[in-house]
Amino acid sequence: MARILFVTSEYEPFQASGVNRIKFFKKSLEQRGHIVIVLTTCTSAQGLKRDRYKDHRDNIYRAVSLSLLGRRLLSSRRLPIYPTISRTGKYSVWIPFAILKGQSLVNKFNIDTIITSFPDFASLNVAEKVATKAQCRLITDFRDPPFWIYDQISKVDRKIKKCQEIVHYALKRSSDVITCTEYSAAALSDYYNLNYNNVVIANGYDQDIIDKIPSKVTLHKNYFELIHIGSFYDEGRDIRPVVKALEQFIKSTEAPLKLKLRLIGDKPDRDTLNYLERFARSFEVIVEPPVPITEALTIAKSSDALLLLQGSRFDRQIPTKVYEYLALNRPIWSVVGAKGETRKLLENYPDNVVYSNYDCELDILNGVGDLLKIQAKTVNCDNLSRQAQIEQLTRLHL
């Protein structure tokens, strides 16, 4: 039996795919008889309320961190201090307090193993420092390896250099590294030239969550509903080419088409919102705030199709939503990199997937027509669940 300290800057009640992965690891390790303690930030860091009873019940400990409101005030135009001092991201202030708290927890619970999860440089930094001080075993989970910090960088500024050092020290100290794809494992090993035991545990979908979603959904809509779940960013998840393609297709088709595009997640930036307002003339775009994962997937289950966006810059990784979309057995419009790991996975499920090259506007336009024709089939994706993948944890020899 191992006594494990999980270091993560983001944890419940905050909702995110990375948090769900950590929560699932914790539950699985506890079911195997291990003791798991969580060290994280104060809930105010995400602008949320703390449930002290739940923290006590689930062995969740919190170190001092700057509140969400505090970060916003110190990042305002009148007082732009925080972006200058926060070289390791938004949780920089948490690091020294978390190191002290982590050392205290190691002594209190006789911790022998520390696990941390990227993406977050603060978590890596804290975990490496605590593990080194206490001479504990360190396991690093690279859910999304930080390829952007070393891929084709023409100018390395001080912040990037600091982040590179944090990743290097964490890998050097780690006895085991978890990645989500073999491609990610090879890239990290080649760049940092370090030896460690690598275990591939795919992001996967949580079968317990999928089981809560109604298996039969009746569609009573007089329009075609396309849903995207998640946030947007220019390099890897830009919604504008899709909006342009939808507008062009609807204008060019002879048959009338009533379409709704629902964007559920973090609000797009102002430029993107302005683009949607100017160019989405022939169909309706609805921007909705994030909702808990079970609710989001229940909404997705009743859609006519699901939109998946992933630029070629992120070809090495497979987002959690890919597995969740497949488990829902709905048509998927996969606008992804032509040579990425996501496309390779989706090629195994051609009946439910329409592929468009993220980097080709003509290909995206052609994908609209194909999407309207597809009739989804029920496919077995049990092997993609986290419950199936988690058996790989045995390779860590805890």
Specify the pTM.
0.85
Contact 139, 29 (CB under 8 A): no
Residue with the bigger pLDDT between 183 and 86: it is 183
- Provide the residue range defining the domain that includes 222: 208-380
- % of the chain residues with pLDDT over 90: 55
pLDDT reported for residue 40: 95
Q: Are residues 142 and 112 in the same domain?
A: yes
DSSP string, 120-169: -HHHHHHHHHHHHHHT-EEEEEESS--GGGTSS-SS--HHHHHHHHHHHH
Confidence of residue 189 (pLDDT cuts 50, 70, 90): confident
Q: What is the mean pLDDT of the segment spanning 181-202?
A: 84
Only one residue has tokens 């997640």, namely: 265
Q: Are residues 113 and 152 in the same domain?
A: yes
Q: Are residues 51 and 187 in the same domain?
A: yes
Q: Are residues 31 and 130 in the same domain?
A: yes
Q: Are residues 217 and 191 in the same domain?
A: no
- For residue 19, which of 56, 46, 49 has the smallest C-alpha distance? 46
Contacts of 358 (CB under 8 A, 6+ apart): 241, 309, 310, 311, 312, 335, 336, 337, 338, 364
Contacts of 273 (CB under 8 A, 6+ apart): 267, 287
Q: Are residues 102 and 16 in the same domain?
A: yes
> Which pair of tokens denotes residue 56?
């006590």
Which of 32-41, 157-166, 277-286, 354-363 has the lowest average pLDDT?
A: 157-166
Instruction: Tell me the C-alpha distance between 149 and 159, whole Å.
Output: 10
Helix axes 293-301, 320-328, angle to 10 degrees: 40
- Backbone φ and ψ for 336, nearest 5 degrees, come out as -135, 175
Q: What is the mean pLDDT of the segment spanning 128-140?
A: 95
> Which pair of tokens denotes residue 96?
């020294």
Q: Are residues 46 and 183 in the same domain?
A: yes
Contacts of 369 (CB under 8 A, 6+ apart): 249
Contact 7, 39 (CB under 8 A): yes
Contact 236, 310 (CB under 8 A): yes
In the three-class reduction of DSSP (H, G, I as helix; E, B as strand; rest coil), residue 61 is classed as strand
pLDDT reported for residue 115: 96
Instruction: Tell me the C-alpha distance between 302 and 156, whole Å.
Output: 46
pLDDT reported for residue 325: 96
Q: Are residues 20 and 133 in the same domain?
A: yes
Q: Are residues 292 and 354 in the same domain?
A: yes
Instruction: Tell me the C-alpha distance between 232 and 236, whole Å.
Output: 8
Kindly state the DSSP code that residue 211 receives in the 8-state scheme. Answer: H
Domain count, the chain: 2
Instruction: Tell me the C-alpha distance between 62 and 77, whole Å.
Output: 30
How many Cβ atoms from other residues are within 10 Å of residue 107's Cβ? 10
pLDDT in tens, 255-303: 788 999 999 998 888 999 999 999 999 999 999 998 888 899 999 999 9
Q: Are residues 159 and 243 in the same domain?
A: no
Question: Which domain CATH number covers 187?
Answer: 3.40.50.2000
Contacts of 288 (CB under 8 A, 6+ apart): 262, 263, 264, 265
Only one residue has tokens 């964490």, namely: 170
Question: Taking 70 as the threshold, does the pLDDT of residue 201 lie above it?
Answer: yes
Q: Are residues 200 and 242 in the same domain?
A: no
Residue with the bigger pLDDT between 164 and 156: it is 164
Instruction: Tell me the C-alpha distance between 118 and 70, whole Å.
Output: 24
Q: Are residues 148 and 47 in the same domain?
A: yes
Question: Taking 70 as the threshold, does the pLDDT of residue 216 lie above it?
Answer: no
